[in-house]
Amino acid sequence: MKPYSIDFREKIVKAYSQGNTSIRKVAQKFGVAKSFVQKLLSMNKTQGHVKPRQQGGAIKGELDGYESKIAAMVERYPDATLLEYCEYWGANYNHWVSTSTMCRALQKQKLTVKKRRYVAVKQRQKESKI
């Protein structure tokens, strides 16, 4: 959603400062939330302008910047579980993370966490039957 224009914001501040009206009435008149009018008035008072702040931005994960270390860990221990990866990470880097965090970091790098234990057990069973 795009921010309101600076002209519109200035009209709201001007309407409140001109008359002896309440914030609720100004908000109702312009079709905005009461809290928005309060924020504009506060911003005008403290910063001297009503320009919109920068919106959005990417939220960085806890393990951003460790891509090469994570890839090396998975290459070294390809059949480890998420919990084992978390324990390895905490023990070696003294940075304990949850399994969810580790899973997201692996997914960002498109590293698989599928295990091959089922196939290995099935092959052993076939060998023992022969």
Query: Each residue of 55-112: pLDDT tens digit?
Result: 887 788 888 889 999 999 998 988 888 999 999 999 999 999 999 999 999 998 888 7
Amino acid residing at 61: G
Regarding pTM above 0.75, the answer is no
**Structure tokens, 97:** 């993370």
Mean pLDDT of 36-48: 93
Burial-class residue 102 by CB neighbours within 10 Å (0-12, 13-18, 19+).
buried
CA atoms within 13 A on the CB side of 15: 18
Cα(55)–Cα(11) distance, integer angstroms: 22
Q: Where are the alpha helices (DSSP H) in the chain?
A: 6-18, 23-30, 34-47, 67-76, 82-93, 99-108, 117-129
pLDDT score for 2: 86
pLDDT score for 11: 93
Mean pLDDT of 103-129: 70
Between 17 and 114, the more confident residue is: 17
86: CB partners within 8 A, 6+ apart: 96, 97, 98, 99, 101, 102
